[in-house]
């Protein structure tokens, strides 16, 4: 694809996001390329309310800082090509690229990252424990994510059933009354 056709989106933390042409999801996940240019400061600390993210390094070297719920402080991890970091929901995360060139990563998110950025919250300065209000919002967002994922899975299952050959297992169950023979009429005692 010519450079003039490359779509770039600026994420809330300042990282450049490039959707991968041809990668289409049913809402179960998203996969994009993240471009992290060198800069003097760390990229902004953020977290996701309900999605889990895998950051897989394609080119370059960067430092990821993260703080999972229950941690007393942030952990730093140097990532090189072929290495990855998984950050569950409510884990604060930031990146640092002090190298001479852009770092390219794959961001893989489940469920799919919402284009509205509704699942991303900027923390401000440094990694900190989330507030009670943020945790309550995370619970609500995770409930919504479950509904979204369940709906996407049900739609996929319905489509698969549509394309499958008909079989007795796919048909509606036979009512019990059709399986039990009608009782014999009672004889005698009645008017004719």
Question: With pLDDT > 90 as the criterion, what percentage of the chain qualifies?
Answer: 69
pTM of the complete model: 0.80
pLDDT, position 5 = 75
Flag whether 140 is in a domain.
yes
Flag whether 71 is in a domain.
yes
The model's pLDDT over 14-60, given as tens digits with 9 standing for 90+, comes to 999 999 988 877 778 999 999 999 999 999 999 999 999 999 999 99
CA–CA distance from 50 to each of 7, 84, 95 (Å)? Answer: 26, 20, 20
Domain that holds residue 87: 3-151
Flag whether 74 is in a domain.
yes
Burial of 46 per CB tally in 10 Å (0-12, 13-18, 19+): buried
Mean pLDDT (the chain) is: 87
Question: With pLDDT > 70 as the criterion, what percentage of the chain qualifies?
Answer: 84
181 or 134, greater pLDDT? 134
The answer to whether 88 and 130 are in contact (CB under 8 A) is no
CA–CA separation, 94 vs 87, rounded Å?
11
Flag whether 189 is in a domain.
no
Flag whether 24 is in a domain.
yes
Flag whether 161 is in a domain.
no
CATH number, residue 12: 2.60.120.10
Flag whether 30 is in a domain.
yes
| Domain total in the chain | 1
Flag whether 156 is in a domain.
no
């Amino acid at each position: 694809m010519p450079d003039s056709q490359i779509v770039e989106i600026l994420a809330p933390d300042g990282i450049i996001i490039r959707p991968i042409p041809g990668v289409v999801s049913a809402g179960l996940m998203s996969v994009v390329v993240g471009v992290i240019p060198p800069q003097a400061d760390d990229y902004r600390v953020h977290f996701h309310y309900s999605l889990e993210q895998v950051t897989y390094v394609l080119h370059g070297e960067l430092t990821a800082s993260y703080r999972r719920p229950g941690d007393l402080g942030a952990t730093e991890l140097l990532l090189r090509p072929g290495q990855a970091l998984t950050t569950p929901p409510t884990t604060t995360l930031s990146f640092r690229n002090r190298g001479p060139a852009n770092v390219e990563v794959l961001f893989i998110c489940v469920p799919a990252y919402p284009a509205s950025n509704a699942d991303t919250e900027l923390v401000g300065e440094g990694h900190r424990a989330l507030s009670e209000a943020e945790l309550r919002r995370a619970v609500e967002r995770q409930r919504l994510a479950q509904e979204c994922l369940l709906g996407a899975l049900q739609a996929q299952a319905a489509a698969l059933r549509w394309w499958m050959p008909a079989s007795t297992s796919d048909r509606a169950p036979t009512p019990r009354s059709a399986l039990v023979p009608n009782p014999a009429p009672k004889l005698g005692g009645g008017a004719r």
